[in-house]
Amino acid sequence: MCGIYGITAHDPQFVQQYINTCSHRGPDGYKVWWDPEHQMTLGHNLLSIMADPQLSTQPWKTPKGNTLVYNGEIFNYEELKAKYKGKGFAGITGCDTELLAWGLDEFGIDFIDQIDSMHGFAYYDRENQKLYLSRDHAGIKPLYYAEINEGLVFGSEIKGMLDKVPNARTLDHLAASFQSRTGLNPLRQTLFSGIKKLLPGETVVYDLHDKKIVHTKRIYIKPNANRNFNPEEFRNQLAQAVKRCAIGKRKIGVFLSGGLDSSVVAYELRKIQDKVHTFTNKFNPEVNGDEDFNSDAKAAKVLADSEKFIHTEIEITPKIFASSWDNSVYFGEQPVYTANSSMYCHTNKVLSEHEIVVTMAGDMGDEILGGYTKYQQILHKRFVVKSWKDVLTLWLNRIKRPVPLVDDILSDEILIEEFSKCYSDELWNENDPTASYMALDCVTQVPAEFFSRNDTYGMAYSMEGRFPLASKYFMQYCLDIPTKFKIGPRDRDTKLLSKIAYKNLLPSQIVKKEKTGWTVPVGHWLKNNTDRELTDLYQRNMAEENKINTITVNAKVGKSLIPAWAYKSWKEKYKIKY
């Protein structure tokens, strides 16, 4: 895990400033490189996981004289190393950057089809004056770019390029409209005007002579829904995914939410490592409400005791939530519709203090295994979905009361048209519309909310996040299984694959646990004035927009208060113009 940066100009000072701004992404080294004969400057800072830092310094000179900067991991490195042994690949360093550099030289961007990875990389073809920017199949790793007068500027984070991109601190109307409708922004445009992101599975080719993108390649994990379910095969596939994600030399910590997905990840990791370090959140003070906010912590402890994990409960109090607020806004870069960002930010900080360098989590499980009741509603035809446009329309209405970022929200017709430009009907399976919606969630909701928070908050404390359930092979395996095997007729009949496969291996409290959202009860704390410091922070930030006295106390109270606060704080922190 690292940070990559670049500009199609001779500007080492800017790239060095970019590296300095994002120094948290890689404490094990940094380097700036420029082409002495052409307009290209690249930079990199390193968080070494797989190899000696001295053997993995980037920018990396490829065998054919090209240059690569790369952020990520290739999880099938060993298989590909064995495949190409004696066929041109030296494999001297034990570093996957060496493999990626060689593969791109030999096969071009089609080498991406062979790797099971999480990645954001830039590959500079010096002879042909082409720049290749690529993001992994699931959007686990971010990569942002902007077209400016000098050509193209790009990097792993937005904050370092803001002052290089004209009018970047102006709110992008399309992105703001989409987020105002859905609570998330999975479009190519970011909320910062002029700054875009590579979409999941997307690789673009930029011509340095013509100063434009001349080619785009897209990898989709398609919902084929053509495989029968076998519990033993499912466990084997999941075990292999965890094993691949456990590579490296650094200490691993698992985000153990108490839910089924993180539990199976931790369980499988325990089979290959003597010591498994797990972490969960526990809220103090507890609240009397219509939801047990500590039910996840209780379930996680049951599994941790059963499997003898080295388990840590991270206490979240109103004061901790308040003290982490500013960092969560700054490192998060773009707000999302959640009450939990401050908690996530603090949790990553604590893992880092426990010397964790690699984290694992169960993200993507709900989307590939059928963990949401909305999937049941599609499967049982409570929602009518007969086309890809129906899927996109339903997704646009994913939440009931989103928080508007702008007053003049673009029409649904325009938003759906723009949505379809980013996510094509290659994800549509007329024989399994539910699987089509799930596949769309995999490349929209998951990277826009879950992977982005892990990258921004994990890298804020120099940690690499890994997600076995989002690996290319395991995603495809699960999306090859029809929805009818994953979901039953009753509300609790979700994630049947995992429940059936692990029913005799995990404690019943885990397998039968009702789904909860790992949600901090900050709305209750504010409404009940539990902590003066937290209440003062909210009221000071929101002023006339304070809504504490206008809402009722229930499980949704946080979502009624916090997203609007987060949006306002973000606009102030990043000096956003309207």
Read off the amino acid at residue 140: I
- Look at residue 545 in the predicted model and tell me its pLDDT: 72
Say whether pTM exceeds 0.85: yes
Q: How far apart are CA 190 and CA 333, in angstroms?
A: 10
In the three-class reduction of DSSP (H, G, I as helix; E, B as strand; rest coil), residue 228 is classed as coil
The average pLDDT across 402-430 equals: 96
On the question of pLDDT at 1 being above 70, the answer is no
The average pLDDT across 341-364 equals: 97
- Look at residue 400 in the predicted model and tell me its pLDDT: 84
- Look at residue 547 in the predicted model and tell me its pLDDT: 65
- Look at residue 415 in the predicted model and tell me its pLDDT: 98
**In this prediction, what percent of the chain has a pLDDT beyond 90?**
82
Q: How far apart are CA 355 and CA 462, in angstroms?
A: 10
- Look at residue 518 in the predicted model and tell me its pLDDT: 74
pLDDT digits over 510-537, tens only?
Answer: 999 887 767 889 888 988 889 999 999 9
- Look at residue 51 in the predicted model and tell me its pLDDT: 61
Q: How far apart are CA 318 and CA 554, in angstroms?
A: 18
Among residues 54, 6, 55, 57, the alpha carbon closest in space to that of 34 is found at: 6
On the question of pLDDT at 432 being above 80, the answer is yes
Residue 159's alpha-carbon distances to 17, 314, 447, in angstroms, are 11, 29, 19
The average pLDDT across 459-466 equals: 96
Contact present, 244 and 222 (Cβ < 8 Å): no
**In this prediction, what percent of the chain has a pLDDT beyond 70?**
96
Q: How much is the CA Rg of the chain, to the nearest whole Å?
A: 23
Which range is least confidently modeled, 296-310, 378-392, 502-516, 558-572?
558-572
- Look at residue 528 in the predicted model and tell me its pLDDT: 86
Q: Within 13 A of 380's CA, how many CA atoms are on the CB side?
A: 14
Burial of 411: CB neighbours in 10 Å, binned 0-12, 13-18, 19+ = exposed
The tokens describing 211, both together, are: 């100063």
Q: How far apart are CA 365 and CA 385, in angstroms?
A: 23
On the question of pLDDT at 553 being above 70, the answer is no
Q: How far apart are CA 45 and CA 71, in angstroms?
A: 9
The average pLDDT across 155-163 equals: 98
Residue 191's alpha-carbon distances to 172, 182, 406, 441, in angstroms, are 5, 14, 11, 20
On the question of pLDDT at 48 being above 80, the answer is no
pLDDT digits over 189-240, tens only?
Answer: 999 999 999 999 999 999 999 999 999 999 999 999 999 999 999 999 999 9
pLDDT digits over 315-351, tens only?
Answer: 999 999 999 999 999 999 999 888 899 999 999 999 9
- Look at residue 542 in the predicted model and tell me its pLDDT: 87
- Look at residue 479 in the predicted model and tell me its pLDDT: 98
CB atoms within 10 A of CB 489: 8
- Look at residue 369 in the predicted model and tell me its pLDDT: 98
Answer with the residue of higher pLDDT: 22 or 542: 22
> What average pLDDT does the chain have?
94
**Per mean pLDDT, which of 285-294, 438-447, 491-500 is the most reliable?**
438-447
Contact present, 117 and 73 (Cβ < 8 Å): yes
The average pLDDT across 13-25 equals: 96
The average pLDDT across 64-80 equals: 97
Among residues 237, 224, 168, 144, the alpha carbon closest in space to that of 447 is found at: 144
